[in-house]
Amino acid sequence: MPNASSTAGPSNGATDGSKPTESPRRVAVLGATGSIGRNALSVIEASDGRLQAVALSGHRNFDRLVEQAIRLKPRWVVATDAAAAGRHDWSQLPAGTELLKGPKGLEKVAADAGVDVVLAAIVGSTGLASTLAAIGAKKTVALANKETLVMAGPLVRQALGAAACKGHDELLGGGVARLLPVDSEHSAIFQAMRCGGRDEVERVVLTASGGPFRTWSAESLTQVTVDEALAHPTWNMGPKITIDSATMMNKALEIIEAHWLFDLPADKIEVVIHPQSVVHSMVEYVDGSVMAQLGPPDMRLPIQHALEYPHRRSGPAERLDWTQTHRFEFEPADLDRFPALKLGFECAEAGGTSGAVLNAANESAVEAFLEGDLHFTEIVPACRSILESHTFDSDPTLERLVELDRWARQEVQTWACA
Ligand SMILES: NC(=O)c1ccc[n+]([C@@H]2O[C@H](COP(=O)([O-])OP(=O)(O)OC[C@H]3O[C@@H](n4cnc5c(N)ncnc54)[C@H](OP(=O)(O)O)[C@@H]3O)[C@@H](O)[C@H]2O)c1
């Protein structure tokens, strides 16, 4: 396996905080207008020239996209909703920036020779095609879009040539392409895995804030409103992942993500509630030692870790203030009040088509909840019912996954109309 510098584009030279002596790492920020995308741009802008945003994408928030392009002067801007893009006034785009309209533009920039790192920060299964294009073009992919792995974990691993993986550096890709986690929990696990060998890992422990309803009774959960579900206590994120955090489906997706990223069976993955969101996750080794990664709940830190990997640099993320008293609590996850977690473990164990069905059913159910067509407590039962009624395939093709994705979304509509 080549070393990280060679897989992530030109080396950045300086390791002592001085100005870089070599070319910047060229980053395509897919989903630049979203929460992760905006945080990534703040990391890039604070990188002292080590990182350069060469492509930015947005789906419909074109005013923000243009404002970002004026600031960062990328080579490409991709406006994925082609119809909406056709109606927009793009006259303010910088002179050297090329505008690409429609989703194919994502695949084009993800595979272009002028890109070193692709930050996959589009929400939902629409992020899959560009992630696969980036892997196919042997890029380093900084993966925020967990739905890609949940939906198509076996295909992504196959594309990475992951069968040959051995040590911690090879965990995420045995070929030339590389997948680096951006999700804070998986970034923490990735970092903690550097403390020992793969065969010395006893289990990984994913931490979960517990979301806004951590202490709510099962009965009061039936009364949850959209505004209450959108008010996350520790993280400021896009609406879909915020609802997923409230149902704890986000943790279910992360269980499946951890399974595919680290090649871990479901029984080696645990979830523990940690309301402060400071311990981002842990790795327990066979001798009982537990390695954790800590930091404030600020996504700029895991984003920077992925974009600058394997280097650590000073960046814009907040710091823990050790002059203050901190109390860190851990409590067991309640699988009865938050049954989404059970689905996560079941899908990680089953593999095959189950992740794609769960992911699509959940995306569609969250949309229906946000539109007032489904109760909060119906989201997970709808997903379970659809998952149980699908025809399981242990070794699906991409076409089959896409077909099931479409089918599961239609099934949710039946639930929403019932
Ligand atoms: N936010 C976090 O702290 C966090 C943490 C860990 C992992 N993640 C993961 O990161 C991903 C992004 O999350 P987020 O919170 O940043 O979401 P977000 O704020 O909703 O942003 C989503 C981005 O995707 C674009 N987009 C939406 N629909 C699209 C489509 N059909 N085709 C192409 N682009 C589309 C949006 O464009 P417009 O805004 O222009 O419509 C926006 O740029 C998700 O997979 C999430 O699970 C997020």
Q: Is 196 flagged in the annotation as binding?
A: no
- Take residue 85 and report the two structure tokens written for it: 């893009």
Nearest protein Cα to ligand 1, atom 44? 123
**CA-based max dimension of the chain:** 62
Query: Mean pLDDT score of the chain, rounded to an integer?
Result: 92
Kindly indicate the confidence band of residue 19, based on its pLDDT and cuts at 50, 70 and 90.
low
List, for residues 77-130, the tens digit of each pLDDT value.
999 999 999 999 999 999 999 999 999 999 999 999 999 999 999 999 999 999
**Is the pLDDT at 174 greater than 70, yes or no?**
no
Q: What are phi and psi of 183, to 5 degrees?
A: -50, 130
What mean pLDDT is predicted for residues 318-324?
96
SS3 405: helix
Q: What is the pLDDT of residue 2?
A: 31
Per-residue pLDDT tens digits for 202-234 = 999 999 999 999 999 999 999 999 999 999 998
What b/e string do you get for 334-345 counting C-beta neighbours within 10 Å, with b at 16 or more?
eeeebbbbebbb
Can you tell me which atom of ligand 1 is nearest the CA of 65?
40
Q: Which domains does the chain have, with CATH numbers?
A: 4-182 (3.40.50.720), 205-269+329-417 (1.10.1740.10)
Residue 21: band (very low, low, confident or very high) from pLDDT cuts 50, 70, 90: low
Residues 6 or more apart whose Cβ sits within 8 Å of residue 31 = 37, 57, 58, 119, 120, 121, 122, 123, 127, 144, 145
* H helix runs in 271-394, sequence order: 300-308, 340-350, 354-370, 379-389
Q: 75-90 burial, b if ≥16 CB within 10 A, otherwise e?
A: bbbbbbbeeebeebee
Query: What confidence score (pLDDT) does residue 167 get?
Result: 37
Q: What average pLDDT does the segment 43-70 reach? A: 98
CA 41 to centroid of ligand 1, rounded, Å: 14
185 burial level (CB within 10 Å; 0-12, 13-18, 19+): buried
Provide the β-strand partners of residue 180: 142
Per the CB < 8 A criterion, the answer to whether 135 and 160 are in contact is yes
Closest-CA residue, ligand 1 atom 13, reads: 123
The answer on pLDDT for 5 being more than 50 is no
366 within ligand 1 shell (Cβ under 6 A)? no
CB count in 10 Å sphere of residue 91: 6
| Mean local confidence (pLDDT), 375-386 | 97
Structure tokens at 153: 């974990």
Q: How far is the CA of 6 from the centre of ligand 1 (A)?
A: 29
Residue 168 has pLDDT above 90, yes or no: no
In this model, does residue 310 exceed pLDDT 90?
Answer: yes
Mean per-residue pLDDT, 147-165: 81
User: What are the tens digits of pLDDT across the range 369-379?
Assistant: 999 999 999 99
Check residue 10 and give its pLDDT. Answer: 43
Q: Residue 58 CA: which ligand 1 atom is closest?
A: 40
Q: For a substitution probing ligand 1, which of 35, 39, 184 has the most ligand atoms within 8 Å of its CB?
A: 35
Q: Tell me, using a 6 A CB cutoff, whether residue 241 lines ligand 1.
A: yes
pLDDT above 50 (res 7) = no
| Local structure of residue 193 (DSSP, 8 states) | G
Averaged pLDDT for residues 374-388: 97
Is residue 169 pLDDT above 80, yes or no?
A: no
Closest Cα partner for 280 from 211, 363, 371, 188? 188
Confidence of residue 414 (pLDDT cuts 50, 70, 90): confident
Kindly give, in sequence order, each residue whose CB lies less than 8 Å from that of residue 418, ignoring residues fewer than 6 positions away: none
Q: Is 102 annotated as a binding residue?
A: no
Asked whether residue 405 carries a pLDDT value surpassing 90, the answer given is yes
Q: What average pLDDT does the segment 291-306 reach?
A: 97
- 171 confidence band (pLDDT: 50, 70, 90): very low
The finding on whether 107 has its CB within 6 A of some atom of ligand 1 is no
